Amino acid sequence: MTQASLGQSVVQKEIQAQNNGVAANVTQTQPLWLLAEVTYRCPLHCAFCYNPTDYDKHTQNELTTEQWIQALRDARRLGALQLGISGGEPLLRDDIEDIVIEAKKLGYYSNLITSGVGLTEKRIQAFKDGGLDHIQLSMHDITEEINNFITNTKTFELKKKVAAMIKNHGYPMVLNVVIHRYNIGHMRQILEMAEALGADYIELANTQYYGWSLVNRSQLMPTKEQIDEAERITNEFREKQGSKMKVFFVVPDYFSDRPKKCMNGWGEVFMIVTANGDVLPCHSARVLPNIEFPNVKDKGLDWVWNDSPAFNKYRGDSWMKEPCRSCAEKEKDLAGCRCQAFMLTGDAEGADPVCSLSPNHHVITRAIEDSRNPVIASQPIIFRNDKNSKAIIAGELHDRVKDFHALP
Amino acid sequence: MSIQLTNIYAIALHHRFQWEEAQNCYVILFPEGMVKLNGGAGEVLNLVDGKRTVTDIVTELKAKFPDAPDLDQDIIGMLELAIEKAWLRQIN
């Protein structure tokens, strides 16, 4: 799947941005967003996928339709409103229609997050009839070459067809484009493509480095100059284009001085149920040490959200260490991303090393340097596929993950 | 942006306005986002139904909250914000 809701997602920006007439949302005690990662199977093999590199362990033990419906009901009772149906490629399951119908019945605003592979006239009609609210389509580039390269599949023409299908069925056109070294130079053309497709929303999601994208970090990371230029083009486009199309530019945290307020805070608004039923406060939380994540097969979501040690572990700020604990800005970013802190420094309670005040900030500086090192950056991309996942689980690609404190 | 008292608005396409019991407030849901509305804002948008004019909305809310000062301005201000945010569309 794409990186739509990683880190500073749109829902968080909206929540934080509103104040005139709108309640500020500082401490949220109910989940607002349920992300259902219904499968890790995927026909695409994107180099930047944030799914866990060991996903192959979770392709055989997926939740049943009944278990998903129960999870939807339980989360809705807790207050969840936005439902993302994601993966992997959710359309590889044949029960998405049932999930959509139930979501509508329960009053969710539901979103299918898809590569478009597997979307047929028949299925989209069933989704429309069932009450699916919108479809978020991942696009990769304006060129067939880059699309097919970065996804390791021949899907360029198909995506254009699917975009038209979405529009024809009266759905808002919501595009997500993950930005990396190979497409960042095409920003203007990507925006023009979105406009030509009649997009209502486009998210330009600079790659954040989790899962497969962390393994491929040196191969994917653009330069600071490229990012600045991309942002400039985006702003220029926004000004020219007005409010017809909402354009979100997700700033890459490696090039910021301060970390993102990851997931708007641990266990604050997001709840993710993964393919096998593990319940997580963020996409990559399973990399963290000494936490047992509950599974919907054993525990109800009410207990998971309110009482589980996992969801309470990084709520509030009592777990923080210096320099975060006494930092005047700690409420702004809540010390950043726990997964990033652990993966890159080995300390899950430490400051996110993205922060220039972190004693470990050099790991970020070095990663940026590595990405500019022609020898390192020319190592092959490890595409997200079953074969590579099995190899990573077996320890065969050790060299590419040895700098990290857990398997990405 | 000028709001005429005769204007009629509806919730924008692809947006959904609903009461949320768990949050105890009205919300607007749309692709990739949502906003929770505070009490006053929720009351205003709850009357935006594609039939009532701005005058109708002001009249109804004045009847409901007779002691609230400057209600006209607050309502217009809320509608302006909602239009700026593209939560509403004008239908006349």
Could you write out the three-class secondary structure of B30-76?
A: ECCEEEEECHHHHHHHHCCCCCCEHHHHHHHHHHHCCCCCCHHHHHH
Tell if the CB–CB gap between A22 and B30 is shorter than 8 Å.
no
Given a cut of 90, whether residue A179 has pLDDT beyond it is yes
Q: Which of A82, A200, A201 is nearest residue B29 as measured by Cβ atoms?
A: A82
Provide the pLDDT for residue A13. Answer: 38
Q: Do A122 and A145 meet the contact criterion of CB atoms below 8 Å apart?
A: no
Q: What's residue A1's pLDDT?
A: 40
The residue-averaged pLDDT of A13-39 equals 61
Please tell me the predicted confidence (pLDDT) of residue B1.
Answer: 56
| Chain centre distance of CA B10 | 9
The first and second tokens of residue B77, run together, are 């201000």
Across A141-150, average pLDDT = 92
Q: Give mean pLDDT, residues A91-113.
A: 97
Other residues' Cβ atoms within 10 Å of the Cβ of residue A25:
18
CA atoms within 13 A on the CB side of A169: 24
Reading the block at residue A117, the tokens are 């592979």
Mean pLDDT of A310-315: 96
Residues in chain B closer than 8 A to A109 (CB atoms): 16, 29-30, 34
The residue type of A82 is: Q
Share of chain A above pLDDT 90, in %: 89
For all residues of chain A together, what is the average pLDDT? 91
Give the integer Cα–Cα distance in Å for A91 and A165.
Answer: 15
Please spell the DSSP secondary structure of A49-115, one letter per residue.
--S-TTGGGGSSSPPPHHHHHHHHHHHHHHT--EEEEESS-GGGSTTHHHHHHHHHHHT-EEEEEE-
Helix (H) / strand (E) containing A134: strand A134-139
- The pLDDT assigned to A11 comes to 39
Structure tokens at A76: 């809705």
Phi-psi group of A184: left, alpha or beta (phi > 0 → left; psi -120 to 50 → alpha; rest → beta): alpha
Which pLDDT score is estimated for B32? Answer: 78
Residue A21: closest C-alpha in chain B: B41
In this structure, what are the phi and psi dihedrals at residue A110, rounded to the nearest 5 degrees? -105, 145
Here the tokens at position A325 are 């604990």
Measure the CA–CA gap between A181 and A221, rounded to whole angstroms: 6
Cβ(A138)–Cβ(A114) below 8 Å:
yes
Q: Say what the pLDDT of residue A161 is.
A: 94
What percent of chain A has pLDDT above 70? Answer: 93
- Cβ distance B23 to A4 less than 8 Å, yes or no, reads no
Could you read off the pLDDT of A230-272 as tens digits, one per residue? 999 999 999 998 878 989 998 899 999 999 999 999 999 999 9
Q: Which of A109, A133, A135, A200 best probes binding to B when mutated, by most B CB atoms within 10 angstroms?
A: A109
pLDDT at A251: 84
Residues 105-164 of A with CB under 8 A from B: 107, 109, 111, 133-134, 136
Can you give the pLDDT at residue B17? 96
Has residue B53 got a pLDDT over 90? yes
The CB-side HSE value for A145 (13 A sphere, CA atoms) comes to: 3
For the cut 50, the answer to whether the pLDDT of residue B18 exceeds it is yes
> CA quadruple A55, A56, A61, A65: dihedral positive or negative?
positive
pLDDT of amino acid A17? 36
CB contact under 8 A, B31 and A25: no
Q: What is the mean pLDDT of residues A136-149?
A: 93
Nearest to A137 by CA among A41, A2, A272: A2
- Sort strands B33-36 and B88-90 into parallel, antiparallel or unpaired: unpaired
* β pairing state of A82-86 and A33-37: parallel
Mean pLDDT of A352-371: 97
